Structure 1
């Protein structure tokens, strides 16, 4: 089964965007992307197996969106 991580936007302003992320809607962490630096910080972690996979996947997806210059969607996902 391919890795799948869902992302749901909860807040956005000119400087940052926050998303809930994780493998399912009932198992979500929270992260924040600094739009200027591109740094992604995990604020809360979901229960993942193995740990850190969903954060890594979410970070990759958000970095792709930031680098493309696209608007940050309300919902998106990472699937390999």
Structure 2
């Protein structure tokens, strides 16, 4: 009798864990993505921006004012740092095309 109850409890626990994992995967796939982008410095040739999920965890990039080339100078200390850089680079490049180098911008999706 005890083994039957234990087996049933294990099956219920496995079912619950499986549902939690599926819910986590679903939530992860629909979560919003936010990148804060702050101008750090600007000179005659380019602009350096800091970027990341919030002000405590920022990487940096540089955009050439003449060509629009964007280079990553420092990764964000996040697990998916390339995703933050790519979105920041696109946003900064879009503003460069308009001739604008804003002090503070963001990417949200």
TM-score norm. by structure 1 comes to 0.90
Gaps of 5+ in 2: 1-30
Residue 7 of structure 1, aligned match among 27, 37, 54: 37
Structure 2: distance between partners of 1:26 and 1:47: 10
Larger radius of gyration: 2
TM-score (norm 2): 0.68
Q: Which residue of 2 aligns with 1:74?
A: 103
Going by fraction, where is helix more abundant, 1 or 2?
2
- Higher strand proportion: 1
Once the two structures are superposed, residues 17-44 of structure 1 have per-residue CA deviations (whole angstroms, 9 ceiling, x without a partner) of 0011011110001110011111111111
| Mapped partners of 2:59, 2:68: distance in 1 | 19
CA distance in 1, matches of 2:47, 2:99: 14
Query: Are 1:36 and 2:66 counterparts?
Result: yes
Q: Higher relative CO (CA 8 A, sep ≥ 6), structure 1 or 2?
A: 1
Please state if 1:64 is matched with 2:94.
yes
Count residues in correspondence: 79
Moved over 3 A (4+): none
Across the aligned residues of Structure 1 and Structure 2, the Cα RMSD in angstroms comes to: 1.1
